[in-house]
A and B are shown apart, each in its own frame.
Chain A
Amino acid sequence: MADKPRILFCHCNYAKVVPEEVKAGVLKSLCKSGQAFEAVADLCEMAARRDPALKRLAAGEEPVKIAACYPRAVKWLFGGCQAPLNAAHTEVVNMRELSAVDAAAAMLDESVTPNLPEDGSVAAVEGEKKI
């Protein structure tokens, strides 16, 4: 139980960059699961306000799973507010790229695959990259 990840869901309120059906699907799955979780309206807005709640959300020794957008963006939304996430224990599930089913499954999977970028190295990207 102690190693069960904490769950944080970002509703990305103020833009349509996360597909509505993905946000709704993930939220529905979390609500059905009976798991405790934190839901925030918009991590960007919290970062803009330098909301002290970001420190609360980043604190603690437990692994954390965050349903939001790109891991690099999430890392620095927290990092820019002096609320650094623990890279060794944090997995960001990207709702901009995943389907609702895949994102929900990733959030409810108790194993954590840390995926915050650890340095500024250029990613190895194969094939045509979308711009």
Chain B
Amino acid sequence: MAIADETTLRVVLYEGEGAATLDAAERVSTLTTLLEKGYAVTCAGEGAVAPADDSALLVLGRFENGQAPEAEDANGKVAIRFRDIDGLDSEGITALVETERESSNAAQHGEWKPWFPVIDYDRCTNCMQCLSFCLFDVYGTDDDQGIQVQNNDNCKTNCPACSRVCPEAAIMFPKYKSGPINGDVVSDGELNREKMKIDISALLGGDVYQMLRDRSQRSRSRFSKERSSDKALGERTKCLTKLAAEADIDIPIEVLQSLPGADEIAQKAAAANARAQAVLDARQSG
């Protein structure tokens, strides 16, 4: 199942009429544990909460006489389950919720670090640089030939490379360490800096791989008599690590190591370029 197709179980921590109030420490520990397991929790209290939608609700509370009420949505759209948590600590509550999640087919969380590009459409000019740069088919276009993120789980964790080729600093990775890639404001200086970094695209597409090929040729002759896969891998790792450091491109070594061979990269790059060009041509003729 694609990650985009999954839904979240909404948990409601109920402390209103017919239920006991949790003390603040219990509330904190219960909430923290549930959040760490990936659940969305509504804490009922004074003031408004977000309106209901059609997703399932799991209502937890310390209900009177330990008896969880039964109720149903008046419109029949929302599945509502009540569960009594009296006597359960935060771990016990989490286990209860996990059981309910499994039976509701809601998403299991924490299996994938949510690392993917977020486009700032206020800044994006649909230049398609990102589409032509990414080798992993993360980007695509919508019906109006506008850029969009289509396969976010194809994105390589901790790799911000596409944000560095964006001439408008319009691509964010909210979990990145520093701005403007993390979503911080974009200053004049940073915008110029981002524009300069477009050269990395050429570097990745050309020079780096030429250097790899040259180095590979040299090492091939060196290892020709005693070649082993371990040595070849070691050489490749050493080379990539050095290149990553020298070029200051901030692409994790794991990502560089996982790149396909130079020929396949050239093919993928050509295909991505063709896609981007086709979109630009279609927009121009439209």
Across the interface, do A62 and B48 meet the contact criterion of CB distance under 8 Å?
yes
Q: Does A40 contact B (CB under 8 A)?
A: yes
Tell me the minimal C-beta distance from A49 to chain B in angstroms.
Answer: 5
Contacts of B4 in A (CB 8 A): 48-50
Q: Which of the four size classes fits the interface of chain A? A: 35 or more
Tell me the minimal C-beta distance from B77 to chain A in angstroms.
Answer: 13
Contacts of B39 in A (CB 8 A): 41
Across the interface, do A42 and B38 meet the contact criterion of CB distance under 8 Å?
yes
Contacts of A53 in B (CB 8 A): 7-8, 10, 40, 53, 55
Determine the distance from Cα of A37 to Cα of B118 in the docked complex, in whole angstroms: 26
Across the two chains, which residue of chain B brings its CB closest to A117? B122
Tell me the minimal C-beta distance from A78 to chain B in angstroms.
Answer: 10
Across the interface, do A7 and B185 meet the contact criterion of CB distance under 8 Å?
no
Across the interface, do B188 and A122 meet the contact criterion of CB distance under 8 Å?
yes
Q: Does B182 contact A (CB under 8 A)?
A: yes
* Known contacts A13-B35, A27-B28, A36-B44; A47/B182 CB under 8 A: no
Across the two chains, which residue of chain A brings its CB closest to B153? A48
Q: Does A114 contact B (CB under 8 A)?
A: no
Tell me the minimal C-beta distance from B129 to chain A in angstroms.
Answer: 16
Interface residue ranges of B94-118 to A (CB < 8 Å)? 107, 109-110, 112-116, 118
Contacts of B49 in A (CB 8 A): 6, 36-38
Determine the distance from Cα of A47 to Cα of B31 in the docked complex, in whole angstroms: 21
Tell me the dominant secondary structure on chain B's binding face. loop
Q: Does B90 contact A (CB under 8 A)?
A: no
Q: Does B252 contact A (CB under 8 A)?
A: no
* Known contacts A11-B36, A41-B36; A36/B116 CB under 8 A: no
Tell me the minimal C-beta distance from A115 to chain B in angstroms.
Answer: 11
Contacts of B185 in A (CB 8 A): 70, 72, 117, 123, 125
Across the interface, do B114 and A76 meet the contact criterion of CB distance under 8 Å?
no
Across the interface, do A56 and B8 meet the contact criterion of CB distance under 8 Å?
no
Determine the distance from Cα of A46 to Cα of B182 in the docked complex, in whole angstroms: 17
Tell me the minimal C-beta distance from B125 to chain A in angstroms.
Answer: 9
* Known contacts A44-B174, A48-B153; A72/B47 CB under 8 A: no
Across the two chains, which residue of chain A brings its CB closest to B38? A41
Q: Does A101 contact B (CB under 8 A)?
A: no
Across the interface, do A45 and B38 meet the contact criterion of CB distance under 8 Å?
yes
Across the interface, do B36 and A80 meet the contact criterion of CB distance under 8 Å?
no
Contacts of A45 in B (CB 8 A): 38, 109, 112, 114
List the 6 closest pairs (A to B, CB-CB), nearest first.
A73-B183, A70-B183, A123-B185, A120-B122, A120-B123, A15-B175
Interface residues of A (CB under 8 A from B): 1, 4, 6-8, 11-15, 17, 24, 27-28, 30-42, 44-53, 55-57, 59-60, 62, 69-77, 79-80, 96, 117-120, 122-125, 129-131
Interface residues of B (CB under 8 A from A): 3-8, 10, 24, 27-28, 31-32, 35-55, 107, 109-110, 112-116, 118-123, 148-149, 152-153, 168, 170, 172, 174-179, 182-191, 193
Ordered by A's residue number, 18 sampled pairs between the chains whose C-beta atoms are within 8 Å are A11-B36, A14-B113, A17-B182, A28-B28, A31-B31, A38-B40, A39-B41, A41-B36, A42-B109, A49-B6, A50-B4, A60-B50, A70-B174, A70-B184, A72-B183, A80-B118, A122-B191, A130-B179
Beyond A56-B53, A125-B187, 5 additional contacts (C-beta under 8 Å) are A7-B47, A13-B38, A36-B46, A46-B40, A118-B122
